[in-house]
Amino acid sequence: MSDRVAAVPVLTIDGPGGAGKGTISSLVAERLGWHLLDSGALYRLTAQAALKHSVAVDDEAGLARLAEQLDVAFPVEEGQPRTLLEGEDVGQQIRTEQAGERASQVAALPAVRQALLQRQRDFCQAPGLVADGRDMGTVVFPDAPLKIFLTASADERARRRYLQLQEAGVDASLSSLLKEIQARDARDTQRSVAPLKPADDAITLDTTRLSIPEVVDRLTELLAQRGLVSGV
């Protein structure tokens, strides 16, 4: 894995839910023409597969088997990315708050994380990779030349999610969203395997008061400063 990362530049973007990792990662990847790994989608898809096949979220062995055999695809059709699970488009289903909660429970299981480890590393392909998740810099790509830990206050992350749901026409309670975010943060930071934390050599970037374009510009500047990209 180290040889591949040495040959292919990898930018890891870790952080808690709602910090903007997904949006920022996709925009940086698009600007650079790099590949994108949304590791959270793999855990959400595993949780969705468990729901589909009636596997309990605490059945670690059963979930690990599902993860190893996960039939997923991320085709782009007419410029729009799709998320397929066993041929079915589940892009909207896996982005609900309930799906995120199940994914967080699944991700806390060591056997599931191990089952998905190599699948995540296989996304490292030329010309480069932006890897979005919670343990990209600490576990999956520990040799990545640039690691970012993206964060924001829990209040701000809840507010952003509330606005997203409102725009989508979904009723939501801001106080409930804040409690869910705080509970997920606690579970992610306290789990025994690959807990959520910055890598020792990561740069922490608080996005609470930053716009999306400002964060994208900052990350591309950091990549350029390290000689990983040019002309951006």
User: Is 137 annotated among the ligand-binding residues?
Assistant: no
User: Is 33 annotated among the ligand-binding residues?
Assistant: no
**Alpha helices (runs of H) in the chain, residue ranges in sequence order:** 2-7, 21-32, 39-52, 60-68, 97-107, 110-121, 154-167, 174-190, 212-225
8 A C-beta contact, residue 28 and residue 130: yes
User: Is 91 annotated among the ligand-binding residues?
Assistant: no
User: Is 96 annotated among the ligand-binding residues?
Assistant: no
User: Is 100 annotated among the ligand-binding residues?
Assistant: no
Q: What is the CA 159 to chain-centroid distance, rounded?
A: 19
For the record, the structure tokens of 127 come out as 């010309």
User: Is 18 annotated among the ligand-binding residues?
Assistant: yes
- Residues 160, 69: Cα–Cα separation, whole Å: 34
How many beta carbons lie within 10 A of that of residue 214, not counting itself? Answer: 11
Q: Would you call 89 helix, strand, or coil by DSSP?
A: strand
- R_g (Cα) of the chain, nearest Å: 17
- Residues 124, 36: Cα–Cα separation, whole Å: 9
Annotated binding-site ranges: 15-23
Return binding residues for ATP. Answer: 15-23
